[in-house]
A and B are shown apart, each in its own frame.
Chain A
C-alpha cells in the first residue's frame, strides 16, 4: 500500500512568486501553487507527528483541498536518483517512530492557473523545471485530475534482478575488430545491449589480452571494468604521462613536476611546500601550527547532461579531496570557475541524428551549474568568496565547471606529520558515508571521452551535502585526532576500485569482500558495486583493533560505516563475493601494466592579420559597450547566492567597494585568532589559444599571480595549481598546442619561483552531435588552462582592495602598455581575432611584483586592480564604479591610438591609487623601475575623465557594467 502527503502553502510563497516572475519573462502569464509531496509505503507519512515536521502550521496545511487550477504538473525523481528531501523525510518518518520500510520519496506538484494555457506551455514549464534524465513528469488537466482523484501515488523504488553469476567471463580470444569494439562500447549483455564504455584503446586491449593469455584464462567482467577505471585518462592522465616527441618522460614529469622540484631547490630554506602532487590536494605551510591545502577539480561532462547534479557533485567531490588530504583537512574555502556559452542564445543542436535529444540551452546549463555549487557549498558551511564566469560560444556543448577547496590541517597530529598516512598490511578497509547504488557507473571512463549520443545516463549523479557534512564533521572534528586510522582517502571517480586500489599501493595488496558493502537497494551486480561512484564516501585503512570504535563513533553522528575488506601485502588485488573469487590480479599489472603510448605533435600558430579597425567615434559609448561584454560585466548575482562569510573568516570578498565590483581575488582569515590571511585568485585566457597557446598559458599564469600580488600577498608566498581543459587530445595539432602550453608554464613558474602544488586535466572537451538539419557537427572548447593561485599573507591588514578610497589620491599605472590586442575582448567585440597576442615578459614582471610586494608590506598602496580582460579602460572603469569617485586620467604616455591604449591586454600591469602622504615613499621605492606612470588622480566628481579621449558618467558605466546579467 502506498501513501501520500501533500503540503500546500496558504500564504505568499516566494518559490511560486519567483516562478511566476520567470514565466512572465518568457511570455507566460500563470498563477502557481507549489505543493510539496511526500510518498511512502509507510503509513506514518500521513500521520500528524510526521506532518508536523514537513509542514509549518503558520503558513501551510497538509492534505487540504486544492485551490482552483487549470493544470497540474508533478515532478519527482526517477528510481535510484538521489532524493535528498526524500532522504530527510525518511529520517523524519523514523523519528516519528515508524518501523519497517521507511523509504520516502519527494516530489513537487505545481498547480497552474492561467488564461489559455495549452499543453505545450505546460510542457515548456516542465522542461524548464526538470531534467528528463533524472526526473519523471506527470501532467494532468484539472478535469483529468478530478476524474483520477488526484495525481496518484508514485513510489520510485529501484528493483533490480541480478540473477546471473557473481561475475561473467569476457572472451578476449577474438579479432582485433571485436576487441576494439569491446574497448569502446563495453561488455555486451546477453540481450545484446552494452554495459557502457570502457574507454580502452585497442593498444590497451591487446596488452590485457596478452596478460590473460599468459594466465591461461579470460578476465572476469569486474577485472576488465577495474582495468578500464584504473587505466582511464581520468585516473591515469596518460596524455600527460606518455612520451611525447622528444620528451621521453612525458609532459607532466618533464615540465610541471620538474618546475616544482627546481623551484623548491632554488628556494632552499624558504621552501613552503610540504605535500605536492602526491595526495588528493597540495599542501603548503600556513603558520607554525597549520598547513593550508588546495585542490581544483573539473566536472565538465556531467554538468553538460545534468548541470545541477554535475556541479553539486563536483563541489562536494572536491570537498572530499580536502577531507582526504593527509590524515584529513578541514574545508575552509571553496572556489569556482565556469566557462559557458552566452546564456542569451539558444543554439539548435542535438545529441542524436534524428534530432530527438536536444542539448540543454546555455541558460539552463548556467543556472543549473550555479545552483549546484550554491547548494553544495552553502549546505556544507564552507565559504565561497572567489570565482569567475567566462563566456565563449564554443562551450555550448560542454561547459567547463571548475571547483576548488582549500583546507586547513594541523602540521602535527598525534605526534605524526598531519600530511602523512600509510595503509598497513592487516588494516581493515572501512567504507564510511553514503551507501552504494547504481548512480555514477562509468563516470571516470565517460569523462575521458567526448560527449556524444551514447553518453550514459547512469553517469549522472546528485550530491548529498548533508550526508557528507555529517561524515566530514565526524571525521575532521572528532575522529581524526584520536589516531584511529592509518590512512584515509575519498571515493571519487571509479569509486571503491579507485580508492582501495590506490591505498593498497601503500600496503602492497588488498582483499575486498564485496557482499559487505552497504547498498542502497538489493540486486546490484558485483562489478557495479565495485566501480559505482555513489557520492559522499570516504575509505579508511583501520587497524583491526580500532574498527569497532570508529564505526560506533560514526554511528553516533548518524554516519554509516562498514568493514569491507583487508589491506594486504600479497601483491594481489583480490575480490570475493560471498567467498567466490571474482577478481585476482597482480597489483603491478593493475597499476603499471598499461603500455606506453608515444605521442607526436604538430603546431601551427593561429590567428589572422592584425585588423585595421576604424577609430571609435564615441569612446564613452565604446567603453560602456566593453563593460557590457559577458567576460567583463558584473557577476554579482552569483556572488550573492554563495555564502561567502560563513566560518566568520571573510576579509576581502567577491564584491568590493561601495559600487560592489565583482573582484577576481579574495582574502580569508581561516584561523580566527591568527592574523594571517589566505589569498586566492585565478587566471585564464582561452581566446588567446586561437593564436598561440604558449602566450595563452603565460597570460593565464601571470593573471593568477598578479591578481594575488595586487591584493597584497608577497609573490614569494604564492603557490599555483594547474587545470588543463583541452579538446580533441587525440589530434597531433591539439597535442602540439598542449606541449607549448606546458612549456610556457614551466618557463614562467620557474622565473617567478611559484611552485605548482596540484593539478588536474580534462582532455576531451568536445561536443559531437548534429545541427538543425541533422548534419554532424563537432564543437571543441578552446584549449583552456586555468591557473589558480594561493598564498599566505602575514597579516590581513596588509590586504588591498580594488576600490579607490579618497579624492586626491594619485593614480599610477605600473607596467608597459603595448600594441597587444590579439585575442582581446576589444577585437572580439568587433568580430576579429588579430595576431598580436599579449606576450608576457616574466623577468620584467617579476621585478615589478617584488617591488610591489615591498610597497604592500609598507602599506603604501591604497587600492589596486590587475589590468586583465578588457585592458586599462575596463580597469579604470571598474575602479571608478567601485569607489563611486571620479577620476581624472591622462594616458598620453602610451604611444598608441586611444582604442589600443584603452583596450590592449598587455600582461604584467597593475593600476593602483596611492594616498598623497605616501607619494614620496612610494616613488622612492620604485625609483629604479622604468614603467611607473602617474596617470592622474581620484576626483570629487561623478565622471571618469580620460583626457582628450572621453568623459564618462560613472552612473552610466555602472549601469553598463551591471545590466547584462542582473536578471539572472
Chain B
C-alpha cells in the first residue's frame, strides 16, 4: 500500500464522540485528524486531503430544534457544495448517532432530505446494548462481511421515519443497512427494548445509493473492544475457565476495519 488513507472527524458545538471515533480509525491503520467545524468552514479545501469523513456522535446544539438540525444547517449554509464534491469522489462517509441525524438532515442519506430521525417513541433517552442485523444485500463498503453486531445505542431521537414511498425505495435499493433484531436473530418488529426507539421497519442504519455514505444510530466505536461490552464480565470469565486470552476486538471494530480495507489497508491483526 502506498498512501495511508486519512479520516477527518468533525468536532464542535456539542459533538462529543470525536476522540473514540478517531481512535477506531487509527486502530485499523487509518490516519486522521479531529477538525473543528469552524476550521473546516474557514478552509473547506482541506477536505481534499481526506478519503473518509466521519460525523461522530454527540449533542450538537443540545438537540435543540430537533437533533442534528442546527448543525446540519451550519454545514448546509457553508459547506453544501464541498460536501457534494467530497461524496462524488471515491470517498467514504459515516455519521454515527448525532452524525446520523446530521447526515439525514443534510440529505446525504438516503440522497435527499427524505428521512427524519426523530423522538424515540418513549420520548426518553435510552442508553442500552442492542443487536442489529446487517443487510447482506447491501453494497456498502462499510458493511462487507458483517452479519450482525452487538453494540450500544445512546440517544433520545433515534426513530427513523419516512413516507411509505421512501421506505419502499430504500428497501428496493438495499439502502437499509441495519435493522434491530432480538438476541435470537428474529426481527424486533418494533418491540421495545429490542427496537429501542420505535424506528420504522426496525431501521438502525441507512446508506446513500452508492453505499459509501452510511448513517447509523448505534455506536460501533463503543462496541469495538470486548472490554467495552455489557457481557464483558461473562466473556472474560469464560475465557479464563477455558484457559485462553479474551481477544480485544469486538463487533463494532469491523465497520472501521472495512473502511481500512476499502482503501487497501490490510486488516490490523491484534494478538488474540
Residues of A within 8 A of B (CB): 11-15, 17-19, 36, 49, 52-60, 84-85, 87-89, 91-92, 95-96, 106, 374-375, 378-381, 464-466, 469-470, 473, 556-558, 639-653, 655-657, 669, 672-673, 796-797, 799-801, 803, 805-806, 859, 862-863, 915, 917
Contacts and interface: CB of A to CB of B under 8 A. Distances in A.
A381 B123 contact: no
Contacts, number: 196
Contacts of B114: 58
A803 B114 CA distance: 45
A641 B126 contact: yes
Contacts of B152: 645
The winner among A89, A91, A645, A652 for most chain B CB atoms within 10 A is A645
Using C-beta atoms within 8 Å of the partner chain, give the interface range for chain B.
35 or more
The winner among B57, B62, B66, B105 for most chain A CB atoms within 10 A is B62
B33 interface: no
Contacts of B12: 470, 473, 557-558
A651 B228 contact: yes
B222 A18 contact: no
B36 A91 contact: no
Given A378-B59, A466-B62, A672 B161 contact: no
B62 A88 contact: yes
Nearest to A379: B59
A655 B230 CA distance: 8
What 4 A-B pairs have minimum CB-CB distances, sorted nearest first?
A: A381-B16, A18-B123, A14-B119, A53-B73
9 contacts: A59-B161, A95-B73, A378-B156, A465-B62, A556-B39, A557-B36, A558-B13, A640-B127, A645-B154
A656 B161 contact: no
Contacts of A56: 66, 69, 105, 113, 116, 118
Given A646-B16, A652-B233, A656-B233, A15 B123 contact: yes
Contacts of A799: 233
Interface of B: 11-14, 16-17, 19-20, 23, 36, 38-39, 57-59, 61-66, 69-70, 72-74, 77, 105, 113-116, 118-128, 152, 154, 156, 159, 161-163, 197-198, 219, 221-222, 224-225, 227-228, 230, 232-234, 236-238, 240-241, 246
B114 to A, nearest CB: 6
Nearest to A653: B230
Given A18-B124, A648-B23, 12 more contacts: A59-B118, A91-B70, A95-B73, A378-B125, A379-B14, A558-B12, A643-B127, A645-B127, A647-B16, A805-B233, A915-B237, A915-B241
Nearest to A38: B65
B228 A650 contact: yes
Contacts of A54: 65-66, 69
A859 B23 contact: no
B62 A379 contact: yes
A15 B119 contact: yes
Contacts of A58: 113-116, 161-163
A640 B65 contact: no
A378 B97 CA distance: 13
A52 B73 contact: yes
Contacts of B162: 58
B20 A557 contact: no
Contacts of A649: 20
A465 B74 CA distance: 19
A56 B238 CA distance: 48
A883 to B, nearest CB: 9
Contacts of A85: 62, 64-65
Nearest to B16: A381
B82 to A, nearest CB: 17
A52 B154 CA distance: 26
A469 B124 CA distance: 22
Contacts of B161: 11-12, 58-59
Contacts of A89: 64-65
A669 B126 CA distance: 22
